[in-house]
Amino acid sequence: MIRPRRADHALVAAYTGRVIVGVGLLMCIPLVTALLFAEWDVAVDFAVGILASSAIGLGLQTLFHTRHELRRRHGLVVVSVAWLVATAVGAIPFWLSGHMGSVIDASFDVMSGLTTTGLYLIQDLDHVSNGLNMWRHVLTFAGGLGIVVIALTFLFRGTVGAYQLYVGEGKDERLFPNVVHTARAIGSVSLTWLAVGTTVLAVIAFALGQPPARAVLHGLWLFMGGFSTGGFAPQSYNTFWYHSAAFEAACVAIFVAGSLNFALHWALWRGERAEIRRNIEVISFAVTFSVFFAVVSAGLAQSGIYPDAAVFFRKAFYLLASAHTTTGFGTIYSRTLVVQWGPVAMMGIIAAMVIGASTCSTAGGIKGFRVGVITKVFLEDIRRMVSPDSAIVTERFHHIRDYVLQEETVRSVLTITIAYLTMYALMTLIGVMNGYPMVEAAFEGVSAASNTGLSCGVLTPAMPASMRIAYTVAMWLGRVEFLSVFALVGWGIATVRGR
Amino acid sequence: MYRSPMRHLPIALFTIMAVLALGDSSALCAAAPPLVSSTELVEEADYWDGREVTFEGEAIGDVMVRGSDAWLHLNDDAYAELPIPAGARPQGYNSGHAVFLPAAEARKVTVFGSYRARGDIVRVTGTFKAADPEHGGDMHIAATTLELLEPGFPIERTVPRWKLLLLASLVPVAGASYVAFRNRASALPR
């Protein structure tokens, strides 16, 4: 084990500083919002946040100025540290707002936003300022893109090491040979969706009876919450607020789009429409969605809550799609899941959250790609069993291009899948140990760890602090897909025990 | 000693009067639907489904008029008294209920709860629907009447002095960081 040198630590600190400056720049958006709506108190909160992040970010870059390129291990550690420091800095306006019960809660909400989870501990959300609501949604939108992707787009100039940062944030698709160009392409796709999606939602909200300014703000925020598969909403009622099938349909279109791999977006952007029916992730998602829809339907049929078929479909489809894309939008009260939907339907929703959506998207969970690959391995083994000994059995899959299933891919897929399943089990165990019923503990724990954000009422500001911290860590681990956090732990051990 | 049965007459009359009075008061109770909380409605949805209820809370956000009817959201949480922007301490999540009512009734609400205002406190009476097929299965109260109990009020919020001091103290720190960063960057060879 090689002990990191002083220069290595300096490199990590300097790059972390750049990301922190990026977080400070993002705070300019809620600052302007607060000024536009004459929310002076809130504007001061964001000015404090901007100055603090500038001081920390620029200070780190000054103290540890370097022109060295990042290597793989630096990149992963930078991402881990940057997410932690960004969480701390991003929590400043939350804490100053007076809406948070503790610093733990403020950090929880920022981590939830950045990781596009959507669980929240903010209190009296229905009286929150426009500035703070803007920050909540900017966080989740930026987190969906990846704060490092944003930093890559605006603050880095084509460095080789930038790819390490990009990979460390759970993204591994390269749309272009240059990773900064890839980051900019992701930005372009997302901003185009932002313009279209916000317009559609705002027009519907206006037609539903909201005043123009609120319709525009709600349209923008719900787009950010949906496309990032974050699930934040400006009211405590979430998307139940709107009571509209049209609004729900628009939300589904947006969060499903957000849950697709950016490489798939890019392929469709270039007119390669056949990709949508050939891609392993899309096929995997379609199959698992159908299976879980049957489970949820069985549960709801058992409870008899929705005798009308159209209503039955609308409620079940919306919540399951929201869960499977790890969005977390809902049109029912949290406790309705427990009180009326029942354990079978909840198990269907839990299973959808466990898997999640696509790799290199804004979604969380194990991901459809890994489920697809595991299924292929299973099929390959069956084919091998029934084939002659001399036969060479190979399995192929399509993901932007055709691949032959390699052992290296399988190993990496299984490692991450086992890590996710272990984390889900641990989160459930923590819930049960704190006295919550098994299904409810599993629902909430998986929701946090898969970055979904649906709640059945377990998460409250009164929940034990240990659980709130455990959920925060789970959201972080789930979002960066373990690798960066493991690298940070390894870095720490090497610093202490390495030679 | 002979005791006339009529001696029990006053007691019997009193008992009859009391029973009648009780019956009358229960009739009155039946006329006024019970006051329920949002938690009761969600936790005991099956019990309350289809029953007449009374619900009180702060009107939040906005009213969404749909033709001759409207959607309104009433919060019956701790912040209905005093919201956090008005100085309350955090006391848990918001909780409330969706109400579907005639638009004419909904228009009685003039102040809606937000960062800038504590909304009107109102009382609605109507039928609780646990999963109304007419409204996509949404849980709500189909209210027929709305009564204004307490008008809302604007929230005046000034910037606390300590926040201004914090801001003022951070300006030179951030400025110094920026100057040092620029000097360091220009000093190093490219």
B174 close contact with A: CB closer than 8 A: yes
> What integer pLDDT is reported at residue A170 of this predicted model?
56
> What integer pLDDT is reported at residue B181 of this predicted model?
93
Please indicate whether, in this complex, the C-beta atoms of B137 and A214 are within 8 angstroms of each other. Answer: no
Please indicate whether, in this complex, the C-beta atoms of A214 and B62 are within 8 angstroms of each other. Answer: yes
Residue B17 pLDDT greater than 90, yes or no: no
B70 close contact with A: CB closer than 8 A: yes
DSSP symbol at B115: S
Gyration radius from chain A CA atoms:
22
Among residues 78-97 of chain B, which lie with CB inside 8 Å of chain A? Answer: 79, 83-85, 88, 90-96
Interface pTM, i.e. ipTM: 0.89
Task: Tell me whether residue A387 is exposed, middle or buried, using C-beta atoms within 10 angstroms of its C-beta: 0 to 12, 13 to 18, 19 or more.
Answer: exposed
B29 pLDDT band, cuts 50/70/90, is very low
Out of A48, A243, A332, the one facing B170 most closely (by C-beta) is A48
Please indicate whether, in this complex, the C-beta atoms of A335 and B42 are within 8 angstroms of each other. Answer: yes
Among residues 106-165 of chain B, which lie with CB inside 8 Å of chain A? Answer: 113-115, 130-131, 133, 135-140, 157-160, 163-164
Backbone angles phi, psi at A406, to 5 degrees: -105, 155
Backbone angles phi, psi at B91, to 5 degrees: -135, 25
Contacts of B64 in chain A (CB under 8 A): 208-210, 242-243
A410 close contact with B: CB closer than 8 A: no
Handedness of CA A232, A233, A234, A236 (dihedral sign): negative
Among residues 195-214 of chain A, which lie with CB inside 8 Å of chain B? Answer: 208-211, 214
Whether the Cβ atoms of residue A325 and residue A364 lie closer than 8 Å to each other: no
A240 close contact with B: CB closer than 8 A: yes
Contacts of A41 in chain B (CB under 8 A): 157-160, 163
Residue of A nearest to B155 (CA): A127
pLDDT tens digits, chain A, 499 residues: what are they?
688 888 889 989 998 998 899 899 999 999 999 999 999 999 999 999 999 999 999 999 999 987 777 777 788 888 888 889 999 999 999 999 999 999 999 999 999 999 999 999 999 999 999 999 999 999 999 988 876 666 655 555 545 555 566 666 656 666 666 667 777 777 788 889 999 999 999 999 999 999 999 999 999 999 999 999 999 999 999 999 999 999 999 999 999 999 998 888 888 888 888 999 999 999 999 999 999 999 999 999 999 999 999 999 999 999 999 999 999 999 999 999 999 999 999 999 999 999 999 988 888 899 999 999 999 999 999 999 999 888 888 889 998 889 999 999 999 999 999 999 999 999 999 999 999 999 999 999 999 999 999 999 999 999 999 999 999 999 999 988 888 888 889 999 999 887 7
Contacts of B174 in chain A (CB under 8 A): 51-52, 54-55, 58
Please indicate whether, in this complex, the C-beta atoms of B96 and A236 are within 8 angstroms of each other. Answer: yes
Residue B23 pLDDT greater than 50, yes or no: no
Out of A124, A130, A214, the one facing B79 most closely (by C-beta) is A124
Please indicate whether, in this complex, the C-beta atoms of A311 and B79 are within 8 angstroms of each other. Answer: no
**B62-101: per-residue pLDDT in tens?**
999 999 999 999 999 999 999 999 999 999 999 999 999 9
**A298-321: per-residue pLDDT in tens?**
999 999 999 999 999 999 999 999
Residue of B nearest to A40 (CA): B159
Paired strand residues for B154? B117
Please indicate whether, in this complex, the C-beta atoms of B98 and A237 are within 8 angstroms of each other. Answer: yes
Residue of B nearest to A336 (CA): B42
A464 close contact with B: CB closer than 8 A: no
Q: How close A28 gets to chain B, by Cα (Å)?
A: 15
Please indicate whether, in this complex, the C-beta atoms of B173 and A55 are within 8 angstroms of each other. Answer: yes
Contacts of A64 in chain B (CB under 8 A): none
Please indicate whether, in this complex, the C-beta atoms of B164 and A44 are within 8 angstroms of each other. Answer: yes
Which of A312, A291, A287, A290 is CA-nearest to residue A300? Answer: A312
B26 pLDDT band, cuts 50/70/90, is very low
Q: How close A131 gets to chain B, by Cα (Å)?
A: 10
How many A/B residue pairs have CB atoms within 8 Å?
A: 175
Specify the 3-state DSSP secondary structure of B140. Answer: strand
Q: Give CA–CA dist A100/A91, Å, rounded.
A: 10
Q: What does the block give as tokens for A151?
A: 């930093």
Please indicate whether, in this complex, the C-beta atoms of B170 and A52 are within 8 angstroms of each other. Answer: yes
Q: How close A241 gets to chain B, by Cα (Å)?
A: 8
Please indicate whether, in this complex, the C-beta atoms of B42 and A55 are within 8 angstroms of each other. Answer: no
Paired strand residues for B52? B127
Contacts of B141 in chain A (CB under 8 A): none
Please indicate whether, in this complex, the C-beta atoms of A124 and B181 are within 8 angstroms of each other. Answer: no
The whole-chain average pLDDT of chain B stands at 88
B20 pLDDT band, cuts 50/70/90, is very low
Please indicate whether, in this complex, the C-beta atoms of B174 and A55 are within 8 angstroms of each other. Answer: yes
A54 close contact with B: CB closer than 8 A: yes
> What integer pLDDT is reported at residue B39 of this predicted model?
97
> What integer pLDDT is reported at residue A180 of this predicted model?
72
Among residues 22-41 of chain B, which lie with CB inside 8 Å of chain A? Answer: none
> What integer pLDDT is reported at residue A270 of this predicted model?
85
Please indicate whether, in this complex, the C-beta atoms of A314 and B136 are within 8 angstroms of each other. Answer: yes
Task: Tell me whether residue A187 is exposed, middle or buried, using C-beta atoms within 10 angstroms of its C-beta: 0 to 12, 13 to 18, 19 or more.
Answer: middle
Out of B94, B131, B181, the one facing A126 most closely (by C-beta) is B94
> What integer pLDDT is reported at residue B12 of this predicted model?
55
Among residues 89-108 of chain A, which lie with CB inside 8 Å of chain B? Answer: 96, 98-101
